[in-house]
A and B are shown apart, each in its own frame.
Chain A
Amino acid sequence: MAITQMDKMVLVGLKKDKKNFIKIIQELGIVEFIEVKQKELKREFSIENLNKTDASLSKLESAISIVSKYAKQKKVLFGLKKVNLSQMAEISYKANELLDISERIINLDEEIKEVMNNQLKLTNSIAKLKPWINLDVPIKKLNCLNKVNYTLGMVSKKVCDNFITETEDIVKEVFIEKLGENNSDAFILVIYHKNFKDKIDRLYTKYGLTKYRLDTDDVPKNTIRDFQLEIDRMKEKITNIKSEIVQNEKYLYELKVLYDYYKLKKERIIKSNDILNSNKTFYIEGWVPEKSISNVKKVFEELNCAFYIDFSKPDKNEEFPILLKNNKFVTPFEVVTEFYSLPKSREIDPDSVMAPFYFVFYGMMIGDAGYGLVLAILTFIASKLLPLKGMVKKLVQLIMLGGISTFIWGAMFGSWFGNLLKFKPLWFDPLKDPMKLLIFSFILGVIQIFTGMAMKAYINIRDGKVIDAIFDQGFWYIFLIGIIMFLIPQTSHIAKYFALTGAVLLILTQGRQKKNIIMKLLSGVISLYGVTGILGDVLSYSRILALGLATTVVATVMNTIAYLFKGNIILFIIFAPIVMIIGHSFNIAINTLGAYVHSSRLQYIEFFGKFYEGGGKAFNPFKMNTKYFEFTRGNKI
């Protein structure tokens, strides 16, 4: 129930065995390397190994993504499939063959790109020729004309007819044919005797005719037809290449395993570059959880080579990396702390105390039994069907527990999908008596704040600062309890004695750090102002009422809207379920997020603020980080 105790490990072995040790440490995944600075020992690098591995990795990655793209593989969302390490070893023997296959796949993809490029060029050429499709004379023949010139030109439609009329007027022996037009321009062929060149050119300038040069010898229609045939052939070629790529789908599994193999290898090489060496030995320092020490020793001994190993406890003030360990109920709540900040190695792990508060608040903030059931069932199914790991797994479990709590509180408040199912509330209906829920929220707030103070007192006592515990926490308790008693009618007459005693004690002690007596007393009086901070904290818990009400009322609204269709029985059967499903889903989603955010916020600000420091570093062991699969040894670790 707390922070895992870590021990420091020193490992010395022969350089020839270094690779084996690193591999086994990676597979164990419970040793965090410590960076060591030692003058006599040196690092040794192996650049070429790293480059080769990187090259293989990128080749495999390209091949995998190409095949996945063309074979239309779905991406895995949440978890990795488990594979035995021995399988990975087998596949690694085929590395060369698989790398060749990858290269082939990459080349095929390049080919497709090239063909597509050419296809694009041809399409563009066709587009350029299209306006001239009505030209029935091959360009070759036009080019052979001796005494006669020709122009293929584009002129604005508005002036085209004028151009034709005027040209035919000025130059009698001229042939103008309008070959086609688009939205704005007309495409024409002009044939005239060389002698009239100047006149014709002047007319071109006057009417803004642009000359064209076509990139073909034949009649445009034929060229277009030929290009189109070529394009069709290219399309077929692309389809063939694509199906050839898809045929490699059967290698996809092995390619992925090989990728992970190289990924692990690369990380080992990088780690190995960091390790210090002497002439014949290597030296490793690392953090190991105390409970795993015997395991580590056993696994090292299985390597059957000479080594020296030693475990020692960390120094009194030495920080070690944090690995939280709690029972099954509390573990999901670790994400709340992890998202904020991990505890320092000598702090308390707040999770076991925080868990019940979070559980209750989360449920009250959603506060609908139907929603609670939906959340719990959905997350339960998700946890069984999807292979979840790490933080995501804890988050899903957290929401599942939250769903159970929501169910309980929903039943207490009589809210089942809003007012859809009318069951009597086991406790009371907050819509009818919101003040009761508000006061209850405040009471819960006071309980959590007092718990926070108690944690701080415990830390003080544990660290030997008993006086601080009594003065800072004890006297505040007296003062606060006195104030609370004012609000309870039965105790209000003795309340003032309590409150006054507490206030006087605080005034006397809260300034004890200051130098002279006047400053001490003044600081003491000012410290009483802290009661407004406490008041603010308690008020913060009113959001429990607000969020809980919001869920219930919006649910009721959704039902009301659905029932608006009551008049027409057919519309009702069609639309009412749709409205309710969409409306309630939206409500569940928004309120689940809100409950998570605000329950967390209450822990961070009102609870942690009283005793928690944080700033610990997470335990980051050297382990197998793979992309596609999760590898396991045959026997348990």
Chain B
Amino acid sequence: MITIGHLQLQLGQILALLGAALAVILPGIGSARGVGLVGESASGVITEDPSKFGQTLILQAIPGTQGIYGFLTGFIIILKIGVLGGKILPLTLDQGLLIFGAALPIMIVGLVSAIYQGRVAATGIAIIAKRPEEVAKAITYAAMVETYAVLSLLISILTITYIKI
């Protein structure tokens, strides 16, 4: 227990909440960067051919999923520790650490994979610029990176779900 004035905080609760926060922050940064990268490329293509807007938009959406996964993980954490119910459950230090650790995979992999996926999708825009009929191949290349985000999400969710509090 840490006492600051009238506030009484358990270190475990702080760590768990930190885990949730970072799970949203880091993949969010990654997705923002990834989606932004694609948007920059797409803007260049549209100056030449505005009719390609729909296809480039689809490519731009692909790196956005890591942010959603991070959000999902953060949500599951705050659901689990009772934030949404109005009263945070008491958590010991180890429980807080466990939850924080469980959120690490999606935090880090979400951040990095989103940026890399953004780079693939951005070069996919170049495919569309020259050969608009091959848009599906560009999408497939970008989707390949998703595997690792999905695996890290799964581990995070499963671990968090089964931690006993």
Contacts and interface: CB of A to CB of B under 8 A. Distances in A.
A550 B147 contact: no
A620 to B, nearest CB: 12
A545 interface: yes
B100 interface: no
Size range of the interface on B?
A: 20 to 34
Contacts of A554: 68, 71-72
Interface string A314-358: 000000000000000000000000011000000000000000000
A22 to B, nearest CB: 27
A435 B143 CA distance: 25
B139 interface: yes
Nearest to B84: A560
B61 A593 contact: yes
B157 interface: yes
A546 B143 contact: no
Contacts of B151: 539, 542
B58 interface: yes
Contacts of A590: 61, 64-65, 68
A339 B136 contact: yes
B147 A543 contact: yes
Given A546-B154, A593-B61, A557 B136 contact: no
A608 to B, nearest CB: 11
A597 B153 CA distance: 18
A176 interface: no
Contact of B140 (A543, A549, A553, A600): A600
B140 A601 contact: yes
A593 B75 CA distance: 22
Given A553-B72, A590-B64, A598-B143, A546 B150 contact: yes
A96 to B, nearest CB: 33
Nearest to A542: B154
A601 B72 contact: no
User: Per DSSP, are chain B's interface residues mostly helix, strand or loop, or mixed?
Assistant: helix
Contact of A549 (B65, B72, B84, B143): B72
Size range of the interface on A?
A: 20 to 34
B89 to A, nearest CB: 18
A223 interface: no
Contact of A438 (B136, B140, B143, B154): B154
A565 interface: no
Given A546-B69, A549-B157, A590-B64, A601 B75 contact: no
A604 B141 CA distance: 11
A601 B147 CA distance: 10
A554 B65 CA distance: 12
A597 B62 contact: yes
A434 interface: yes
Given A550-B68, A593-B58, A594-B65, A543 B136 contact: no
A540 interface: yes
Interface string A564-593: 000000000000000000000000001001
A438 B161 CA distance: 13
Contacts of A600: 136, 140, 143
Nearest to B153: A546
B136 A550 contact: no
A598 B139 CA distance: 10
Interface in B50-94: 58, 61-62, 64-65, 68-69, 71-72, 75-76, 84
A598 B68 contact: no
Interface string B146-159: 11001101100110
B90 to A, nearest CB: 23
A540 B61 contact: no
Interface string A353-369: 00000000000000000
A435 B139 CA distance: 30
A339 B68 CA distance: 27
A435 B158 contact: yes
Given A545-B154, A546-B69, A590-B61, A553 B75 contact: yes
A549 B139 CA distance: 23
B127 to A, nearest CB: 13
B150 A543 contact: yes
Interface in B30-55: none
B144 interface: yes
A434 B162 CA distance: 10
A115 B64 CA distance: 50
A494 to B, nearest CB: 30
Interface in A537-563: 539-540, 542-543, 545-547, 549-550, 553-554, 557, 560
A550 B72 contact: yes
Interface of B: 58, 61-62, 64-65, 68-69, 71-72, 75-76, 84, 136-137, 139-140, 143-144, 146-147, 150-151, 153-154, 157-158, 161
12 contacts: A339-B136, A434-B158, A549-B157, A550-B153, A554-B68, A554-B72, A590-B65, A597-B62, A600-B143, A601-B144, A601-B146, A604-B140
A-B complex: 5 closest residue pairs judged by Cβ atoms: A339-B136, A543-B150, A546-B150, A601-B143, A597-B143
Given A557-B75, A601-B140, 16 more contacts: A434-B157, A434-B161, A438-B154, A438-B158, A542-B150, A542-B151, A543-B146, A545-B154, A546-B154, A549-B72, A550-B68, A550-B69, A590-B65, A597-B139, A598-B146, A601-B144
